Every structure is written in structure tokens, then in C-alpha cells.
Structure 1
């Protein structure tokens, strides 16, 4: 029988730094049609959460209240019309908000069985990154086996996932990162080449090694022209964030002559039908890589939910390598 439940959530009533975060208690209504309530084992911390905390990334109108875009845990309750999921199932889910919580609300279309071979807690580091990499690198950019793939921020949650997925797919992988230690991690995860962007002329190194067919970029700014300079004929750049800004001045003559493509996407505001298609592809194509040991989430730190401000401070400092998780 359905009844209301109590949960903690994390909000940012006023935009600001990590100190702006607040832990509040809410009464959760029962799941609506097509919804699932999940008792959270862990939640992933992602860069969009930081932008939301700063007031730069407003949630969609129908998103659950609070920060957090991915969780793992056990199914607590099912709404009407939900099929293929049972109470008590171990799952991961991409959520539109409210993931930093004891109980999270998800659309059934974005809930997947937790993959075998990794802990349920660590599985919380999968949905946001895997969905993002799949839809951008494999969907929009159409990365093929044997192609040359370049990913920036190789030691980030997205980067560590992209390296492993591209390698499992049979691509030649180059990653950039900001320290020798982070470059070593990229190499350990399967990058054929790892370049320290602080000390190396990475566009020249990429060009000298044969250029890039697909580039995954979350930096923007002056990286856009640098990316174009080492992108091959028929190459594709996929933009997923803009740490250096989204307004850029570029010379597009090379793009025209080399028939290059610049594209990009966001995930959170996509239609639920789009997310369902991505989820099915991830289940069919990526889960087997995880269960075969070819992909696993790289976990940097696990914080208790009460220490959410510390988790955000670590992400702000860009000190992390891999995913930061919150444990309720």
C-alpha cells in the first residue's frame, strides 16, 4: 500500500559556493504513473550539479526538487504501469533531480538493473557518465572501431568513462589531463596516449600522431579552434560543456575544406522517450563491457550526504580523478 515517506534532499536556496548547499527534509508523495521510488545506496556528484548550485543550470519544470542526477539503490515502490521492475531490485537510474537523497524518484524508462561485477555503491557513478558518453560519442559522433578518439578532461568522471568505452569499442584513444598523476590514470584505463595540457602542446602532438576523428570536449573557449586544428577530414567534435566559456571566435574555413562537424547535446532536458532509447542502448551495448570487466567506474572519493559541501569543494578544486559519490 502506498504511503508518504520522509527523505533528506540537498538544495541551494541562494546561488553560491559549496557553503550554499542545504540539507532539508521533505515528505515524498507516492510514485506517480510510470515512476519508481529508489532507496538510495549512493548518488553521483557531477559538474552540472555545481552549475545548478551556482544558479547557472536551472532544472526542468517537472524535475524532482533538489540536486543530483544519478543514483544506485533498491526499488522501494512502483507507480502504476511500471513493467519489468520489481520491488527490491538492485538498480541504477538517471534522474532529473533529487538524487542527493535517502529516497529518489525516477522515471521507469531511465532505470536499469545494476550491472554485475561492481558494487551497488560504485554503480552510482555510471548513469550520468555512461548515458552522456554513449549518446554523444557513439550516437552523435558515430565513433567507429579503428578511429582516433580524443577526450579532454581524461581523469574526470566523463573522461575516465569515455576512455574505457572507446577502448572497448576498438578506437585508438588519446586523452588530455592536468597532471602527471592524472595522465598515468588515463594510460592505466586504456588511453594509448595521455598528454598533460599544462606542459605539452597537445594539438601538435595529436596532429603528429595522425590527428583525431572524434573529439569529446567539455572545455570550450580557445579549445574549439585548437580542436579544429587537429581534427581530421570528416572529423566530428562533440561539445558537452564549456568550462572556458561557450562564446568563441573561430576560423571555420578549415571546417568547410575538411568537411568537419561540430555538434553537441545536453541530457537532462531531453524527452523521456529519448532517454528510454539511450537507456536501452546502454543496457544492450555497455552493460556487457562492464560485466566482462572492460569498463568500471573510477571512484575518487565517497562522502556521507552530510558532507555534501566537502564533496562539492573537491569538485570545485578539480582535485578529483574519477567520480565523487555521496552515501546517504
Structure 2
């Protein structure tokens, strides 16, 4: 049977006015699905891009955003037996995390370990697995490497900062000047992106072994220019520049940016490397890297920063305030059942 539900709805591609929170009905889980009562989700650049209709290969509106789902199992669909009602779980849901209940495909549901803070677990499902894969698997960072991170105070950027420091790398990057003190306290060397002093500063130091760039477009050119000739590696991800500057670009333009990035390493005798990184729940690396991130948090080896916690009802306003939101880390969406669940633990 279906159940009453409440969810974020993006009715069409457009500005913040197309986002609302609506009452609805959630159908019973289909074969191979599990109904989950949600506790937390996240809000990020993908929400803005989906609202604009520019996220790569996205569903057409109307749609419900929420790239991450953290909650408890409520009901198993037919042939779903791996989980029991009440189990604490998470999923890289891509859609549907910003609602009271959601139906998730059982194969992509991951148990959440005991002892982890649930808002931080939500931040790790996408943001930290992205950072982990880039730092450890793609960049293969080593002690003494110099790295440059665009958006040090952002959700993925701050995760990169901490993971790179764990590896013994020296971390530089860009951020809002209001966050400099907090970032320096974490061991970073921040620059203001817009004044471009960071370009000459990094060249004077011999360049960076790895540059992590979520901005795309012309930013890739500047990031390429500061690579070290000692196996320098530019890693693009996210393509979130448009969500930050309020100037949406088409899906075709985003693909062109990626093609431009990947073409760089094809130049004969080029001393640099280039990659575009993304996380997908079908990747064999996803669950193992997520569990490693969870383990780092449970052991207290990382500090998962939460920039802001908002309610489901505040999601439409966050679409208006996204570029003005101050702080470090991930914006999490707290669903109403979270307080009841946490109060009973």
C-alpha cells in the first residue's frame, strides 16, 4: 500500500521559484526495493544544477532531489530480504533523499555502522567518498607532495584537505577570505580565488603534484598552469562553477569542459596528467571506500565538517541562499523523524 509522504519537488528547469515542498503519496516498494524512513540527506551543487536542468544525464522535471539518503528500513518489497525493519542504512540515491520516505533499490543500500554521527555519515556518502577516491586512488598522494584544492571550505574540498593532510601532503587552495582562519587552523595555506595571486605563488614553489578543480571552464586552464613537471596531475570533478557564480551552462558545455580537460594529456611529450573523477554507486570501489571513510570517522581520525543543518521545509530557501551560505563543510537536510530516532538511542 502507498503511504502519505512529503517531499521537495522541482517542477521544471528554472530559478528557485520552481522548488517547493509538497504532500504526496509514496507507492509501496516494488520487487527488489526497500522503503526507508529518512533521517538525513544533503544539499549541494548537484541540487542547483538539477534545478537548472544542466546536471549530466539527469531525469527530467518534475523530480525530487536528494543525492544521499540516510534512514531506517521501514518495509521490504518482494524478494528483498537482506535488511530488516529498523536497520540503519544509507544509499547514494542520486534522487529522492529530500522527502520523508523513499523506495531504494536493495543492491545499493549500505548498512551504517554503530557509533557514527548520522549527519556526518550523510556527508560521507557522496562528499567524502569523492574526496577519498581522488586523493588515494587517482592522485596517489604521498608524503611531501604539494596539492592545490579549489574550494577548501566546501564539502568535498574540506574532505580533500583532511585526507591529504593524513597522507602527509602540503595543502594549498582557494577559499573565501572569511574562512582563512579556520582553514589555517586545519593546516591549509588558503588564497582568494579571484585575485589570481595563487597562480604565481604555486609556480614559484615549483607547482603542485595534484590540483583538484570542481569549477571547470577557464579554471581548468589556470589549474593546468600550476602543475609540477614532476608528474603533475589535474583532477576535475563536479563541474559546479555555474552553481556558484549563478550563470548556468548547458549540459553540452559541461561535456565540452570535460573533453577539453581529457584532451590535454594526449599532447605528445606532455609532462602532466589529467582526469575527470566521479562517484557512481555501481562502481566496485564505491562501497569499500565509503566504509573506509566511515571507519576514519568512527576512529576520530577526521572531523567531518557540517556547514549548516536545514529542515526539509527550508530547502526552497537554500536554493536562493546557496551562494551566500558561509562556513565549512556539507549542508545537511535533517528530516523530522531524526529527532525521534536519535532520542530513542
Q: Compared with structure 1, are the counterparts of its residues 85 and 31 closer, same or farther at alpha carbon in structure 2 (3 Å cutoff)?
A: same
Give the distance between the partners of 2:74 and 2:61, measured in 1 at CA: 19
Let me know the Cα RMSD of the aligned residues.
3.0
CA contact (8 A) 1:176 1:194 kept: yes
Farther off after superposition, 134-143 or 216-225: 134-143
Residue of structure 2 equivalent to 1:278 = 286
* CA offsets 1:76-126 (integer angstroms, 9 cap, x no match): 223455565432122332112011111133334443333555422343222
Q: Provide the residue aligned with 1:322 in structure 2.
A: 329
**What residue ranges of structure 1 are gaps of 5+ in the alignment?**
none
Change over 3 Å in CA distance of 1:106–1:187 after alignment to 2 = farther
Structure 2 counterpart of 1:133 = 131
Q: Count how many residue pairs are aligned between Structure 1 and Structure 2.
A: 319
CA separation of 1:252 and 1:280: change in aligned 2, threshold 3 A = closer
Give the distance between the partners of 1:84 and 1:146, measured in 2 at CA. 44
Aligned-pair CA distance for 1:153 = 0.7
Which of 312, 315, 319 is equivalent to 1:312?
A: 319
Structure 2 gap segments, 5+ residues each: 243-248, 336-345
CA distance in 2, matches of 1:115, 1:211: 40
Q: Which range moves more in the overlay, 157-166 or 168-177?
A: 168-177
Which residue of the partner structure matches residue 342 of structure 2?
A: none
1:62 & 1:273 partners in 2: Cα distance?
22
Correspondence for 2:272 among 260, 276, 280: 260
Please name the residue that 2:24 is paired with: 26
Normalising by structure 2, we get a TM-score of 0.81
Specify the SS of the correspondent of 2:282.
helix
Match of 1:36 in 2: 34
1:157: how far off?
A: 0.9
What are the equivalent positions in structure 2 for 1:147-296 lying under 5 Å apart?
147-179=145-177, 181-191=178-188, 193-199=189-195, 201-232=197-228, 233-242=230-239, 243=241, 246=254, 256-267=268-279, 270=280, 272-274=281-283, 276-283=284-291, 285-296=292-303
Q: Note closer, same or farther for the CA distance 1:266–1:288 as it changes in structure 2 (3 Å cut).
A: closer
**Partners of 2:120 and 2:304 within 8 A in 1:** yes
Residue range with higher mean Cα deviation, 42-51 or 52-61: 52-61
Question: Aligned partners of 1:132 and 1:11: how far apart in 2?
Answer: 26
Change (3 A) 1:108 1:29: same
